[in-house]
Amino acid sequence: MPYQSVLSVVAPVRDGAADELDRLLAEMGNGVANGEVIDFGTLSGVHFARIVVVPADTDHRGRPLPANIVYLADLDLSPEEHLAELVRLAGEGVDRVFGHCEGYPVGAPGERERLEWLRSRVARAPATYVNTRGRTREQIVQEAELREAVSDFLDRRPDLRDRHPRAVRDAIRKFVGGEPRLRWALEPADRPGFAARIREWAHLAWVGLLVLIALPFALVAAPVYALLLRRHEKRDPAPHIRADEATVLELAALEDHLPMNPFTAVGQVKPGPFRKVTINVILYLLNAVTRHLLKPGDLVGVKTIHFARWLFLNDRRQVLFASNYDGSLESYMDDFIDKISWGLNLVFTNGIGYPRTRWLIKDGCRDELAFKDYLRLHQAPTLVWHSAYGRLSTANVAANERLRKGLHSDLRGDGEREWVQAL
């Protein structure tokens, strides 16, 4: 079993096709994918999937930024395996969506033609976040079913309420073992195999080597970088612009259909090599930190994110950020401001129009109103979005996993009592 992977497909929209594409995506999803064109629920190992259109724009020099359709998927299998299954099981849906793109095979393309075209549009995400690597969609869904079955069992057994925790646990274990559909819960969940772990160790070693090589040069260059940074921070325009009310209402209509939501935003990178180098280095280091150093399920205090990624568009002139999170957008933004404002600033200060920062990490989103208006202004409507477990928060998923572990683990000390209390 591999670690979770992400797939990003980016393709320019054909001239004159944007309006028709928007209508199709609205019919497909209206915030929650209905499966009539592409049934993501039938595809293996898909946690989340979305289709977003990034509208055409111009950059700071007046150069055109073509409209792009972006397909994002968070997976338990490799992107190659997912694409092969996608064209095999949903080929006609793929034609209907990507047929609006430049260069898509005309007529009635076969699986091979579809697959080759999609492969040619795959983009690498410079930074990603996975709540808990190794936890599969199947595991999450099964453990939710386990929770429901155990809760029903306890409802039928009020006599267990006053029993010793060990007796309660033994009764639950006996119940689970007696149900063929639940016996899997008495064994630990599968974890990534040796090959996957080797790849992770190799990546960590490679990042560490690069840091060691670059460190002496970074120390020498630090004073010059600091001077250039403050010069740019003082000169970069940071206007406070609000999205119009109609746009905000349109975006809000796509949200809160489930206890979790998708968020997609696109912004332009500030001009000049200084900002381009800065954001590339930051995203590279961010990816290494989220991949190897963070505690599972905890993004430096923020525990409500399932998956997230950053993606460059249009020759790295634009950056797309996409996440799947619990709760409302307002609470999501507040969570970041309160717990990891420096992290927000570190990444997003390189975007045109972001509230002014000091030394990359200070101020910025601390101007709460300016920051929230900035996000709404750059938010892209997520018309098509699929969640395999849309009613399960990250806390629900973690609690269900602990329930399963308690059935097969050696619970020492107060472990049994705490496990029973959490039921």
Using one digit for the tens of pLDDT, what is the confidence trace for 224-276? Answer: 999 999 999 999 998 999 989 999 999 999 999 899 999 999 999 999 999 99
| pLDDT at residue 106, rounded to an integer | 87
Which runs of consecutive H residues, i.e. helices, occur in 71-110?
Answer: 79-89, 91-98
Give rounded-to-5 percent helix, strand, coil for the chain: 50, 20, 35
What is the DSSP pairing of strand 5-12 with strand 357-358?
A: unpaired
Summary mean pLDDT of the chain: 94
Q: Quick one: pLDDT band at residue 191, thresholds 50, 70, 90?
A: confident
| pLDDT at residue 36, rounded to an integer | 84
CA–CA gap between residue 365 and residue 362 (Å, rounded)? 8
Q: Which of 103, 100, 11, 3 is nearest to 45 (CA)?
A: 3
pLDDT of 1 over the 80 cut: no
| pLDDT at residue 193, rounded to an integer | 81
| pLDDT at residue 2, rounded to an integer | 60
| pLDDT at residue 65, rounded to an integer | 96
Residue range 77-108, pLDDT digits in tens: 999 999 999 999 999 999 999 999 999 998 88
Residue range 364-376, pLDDT digits in tens: 999 999 999 999 9
Q: What single DSSP character describes residue 72?
A: E
Q: Quick one: pLDDT band at residue 30, thresholds 50, 70, 90?
A: low
* pLDDT, greater one: 412 or 369: 369
**DSSP string covering 261-300:** EEEEEEEEBPSSHHHHHHHHHHHHHHHHHHHHTSPTT-BT
* pLDDT, greater one: 27 or 144: 144
| pLDDT at residue 31, rounded to an integer | 54
Q: Where are the domains of the chain?
A: 5-133+193-387, 137-188+393-421
Q: Quick one: pLDDT band at residue 42, thresholds 50, 70, 90?
A: very high
